[in-house]
Amino acid sequence: MAIIKSKKRLPGIHPAYHKHTMDMETAMLPVPATVSIPMLQHIGVEAVPVVKPGERVLVGQKIGDSDAPMCVPVHASVSGTVKQIGNMLTSGGKNVKTVVIEADGQQELFSAPAPVRADSREAFLQAVRESGLVGLGGAGFPTHVKLAHKDTAKVDTLIVNGAECEPYITSDYRECIEHPSDIADGIKLVMHHLGLTRCIIGIEKNKPDAIALLSKQTDQMGGVSVMPLKSLYPQGAEKVLIYCATGKILEEGQLPADCGTVVLNVSTVAELARYFRTGMPLVSRRLTIDGDAAGRPGNVMVPVGTPVRTVLEFCNTDLERCRELLMGGPMMGIAVADPDTPVVKNNNAILAFSRPQVSYSKTTACIRCGKCVRVCPVGLMPAGLERAYDNRNLPMLRKMKVNLCINCGCCSYVCPAKRDLAAKNQLAKQIIREKH
C-alpha cells in the first residue's frame, strides 16, 4: 500500500493556516537588474569568493567555495558582470562576503545541460556538494553533510518532509503538485546511493491533492509510502516528524542518523533530481508571496540573490503599506528590516503585512495555567525555562533540556500572559553555547 498511518501523535497548536496561494501556479520572475549573493546561506562555514570585480559570470558558474567540511559552494544565478564584492548584513544577522552581479538579461549558461553521473556513494556525496544544495525547508543544513552519515548499517529510512505546517507558505505544496516526478526521482537517487530500504513521505491531511499525486507517483516504488499527518503545527519539525513516522525519539545531542533516518525536505529531494538530470546547481528558489499588504499573492520562482523589494514589486506590493516583512512564516520567520535584503537558498516565503503580526501587548505575570507545557511538542516546561534564563541558572537550563527546544513558538502563541517564552529559550541556548 502507498498510504500508511502515522505511528504517533504529539501536542501542538492549530493556527489559522491562511493557505491562500495553494492553487496558484508558480510564476517566473523576470531577470532582476542586479543580484547580491551572500557567501553564507546555510548552517556552516562561509564560502570564499572565487571571482573578481569586472569579471563576467554565467548562470550556474561557481562564484564561491571553501575546503571546509561544512561549506557549500555558491553559484551565479544570473549572467552578467561582477559589480563588486563587499560585506552585507544578512537576514540572519551575520555580516558576510557578498558578490554583487549586474545582470545582462541573457541568462547564458555556464555549461550545456548534461546528466551528472555517480558510480559510488562517495561520488554521489561529492556531486550533491557541487550542486550547492542545502535544506530548503528553512534550516539550511548542508545536504551533502546530512547524507554523509557514518553508520551506514544502522540508517535504513528516508523521511521526506512535505508537511508544510507553517501558516501562509505553499511553496512545498506547489512542488508536490507541479513536479511529483522530480520528487520520486530524487527519492530513488537517495535510496539507491545510500542503500536505504524504506522511504516515508509525510504530508498533512489538509493537502489531499498532494497526497493523491505522490501516492500515485510512488505506488510502484518498493519501500516508499505516503503518510498523511494530522493537520497540526509543528508537524514539519524534524524531531516531530521522526517521532510521527517511526515512533523513535531524537534525544538531546542526537542526529536523525542516530534514529536510523535521513530527513530531507520535499523541495530538496526534487532539486536533487533536477541537478542530476541537468547539471544545473541550485540558483533559484520558489517563494510564496502573501500577507494583507501583498498586492498579488502567489508563488514565484526567483533567482538567488534577488532583492526582496524586486520580488514584492513584481507582485504589485505597495511597500509604503508594509509595516512588517517576514522571510518565512509568522511562527518561525525572520523579520526583514531592509527590503533590499537578498533572497537566499533556504528562503521559502516573503510575507508583507500592513500591521505588525507580533503582539506587543503588555507582559503580565505567569498565572501557572500550564498551557505552554501542554502544547510543547517535545515535552519541555517553558515557564520553568524562562525563570532559569532570567536567573541565568545554566545548570537548571541544562537539566531542563533547553537545547531540545525546536523554536516552534507554540508556547508563546498560547501564553495568556504574552510572555516571551520561545525567544528566551533561544537566548538561553546561545548562553550555553558561549559558556561551553
Give me the CATH number covering residue 144: 3.40.50.11540
Which phi and psi (to 5°) does residue 162 adopt? -120, 20
Would residue 326 count as lying in a domain? no
The owner of cell 550533491 is: 128
C-alpha cell at 162: 512535505
Output the pLDDT for position 69: 87
Would residue 43 count as lying in a domain? no
Would residue 92 count as lying in a domain? no
Output the pLDDT for position 366: 94
- Asked if residue 172 lies in contact with residue 162, where contact means CB atoms within 8 angstroms, the answer is yes
Query: Which of 237, 257, 278 is the last residue before a domain boundary?
Result: 278
Expressed as residue numbers, the domain containing 412 is: 371-435
Would residue 46 count as lying in a domain? no
Mean per-residue pLDDT pooled into runs of 10, the chain (436 residues): 65 93 98 97 93 98 94 97 92 87 97 95 97 88 92 92 96 98 98 96 97 96 95 94 93 92 97 98 98 96 98 95 92 91 95 78 90 95 96 96 94 94 94 84
DSSP state of 307: B
Output the pLDDT for position 1: 44
Sign (positive or negative) of CA dihedral 271, 99, 91, 29: negative
Pairing assessment for the beta strands 261-265 and 284-290 based on DSSP bridges = unpaired
Quick one: 125 and 257 in the same domain? yes
Query: Which of 245, 278, 311 is the last residue before a domain boundary?
Result: 278
- Asked if residue 100 lies in contact with residue 86, where contact means CB atoms within 8 angstroms, the answer is yes
- Residues forming a β-bridge with 240: none
Quick one: 129 and 236 in the same domain? yes
Number of domains in the chain: 2
- Burial string for 135-160 (b: 16+ CB within 10 Å, else e) reads bbbbbbbbbbbbbbbeeeeebbbbbb
Phi-psi region of 402 (alpha: psi -120 to 50; beta: other; left: phi over 0): alpha
Q: Taking each helix axis as running N to C, give the angle between helix 121-130 and helix 180-194, from 0 to 180 degrees, rounded to the nearest 10.
A: 140
Would residue 428 count as lying in a domain? yes
Quick one: 255 and 393 in the same domain? no
Output the pLDDT for position 428: 95
- Asked if residue 88 lies in contact with residue 76, where contact means CB atoms within 8 angstroms, the answer is no
Query: Which of 236, 261, 278 is the last residue before a domain boundary?
Result: 278
Would residue 307 count as lying in a domain? no
- Asked if residue 97 lies in contact with residue 85, where contact means CB atoms within 8 angstroms, the answer is yes
Quick one: 271 and 127 in the same domain? yes
Quick one: 262 and 156 in the same domain? yes
Which burial class, exposed, middle or buried, applies to 38 when counting CB atoms under 10 A from its CB (0-12, 13-18, 19+)?
buried
- Asked if residue 312 lies in contact with residue 349, where contact means CB atoms within 8 angstroms, the answer is no
Would residue 418 count as lying in a domain? yes
- Residues forming a β-bridge with 36: 100
What's the Rg (C-alpha) of the chain?
Answer: 21
- Asked if residue 340 lies in contact with residue 178, where contact means CB atoms within 8 angstroms, the answer is no
Neighbours of 365 (CB within 10 A): 7
CA-wise closest residue to 32 among 132, 85, 104:
104
Quick one: 264 and 398 in the same domain? no
- Burial string for 331-346 (b: 16+ CB within 10 Å, else e) reads bbbbebeebebbbbbb
Quick one: 261 and 142 in the same domain? yes
Element (H, E) at 284: strand 284-290
Would residue 390 count as lying in a domain? yes
Cα–chain center distance at 83: 29
Quick one: 134 and 257 in the same domain? yes
The owner of cell 548562553 is: 431
Quick one: 131 and 268 in the same domain? yes
- Burial string for 47-70 (b: 16+ CB within 10 Å, else e) reads bebbbeeeeebbbbbbbbbbeeee
What is the strand order of the sheet 261-265 is part of? 224-229, 198-204, 157-161, 261-265
E strands of 124-273, at which residues?
157-161, 198-204, 224-229, 261-265
The owner of cell 509604503 is: 320
Quick one: 270 and 404 in the same domain? no
Quick one: 274 and 386 in the same domain? no
Residue type at 188 in one-letter notation: K
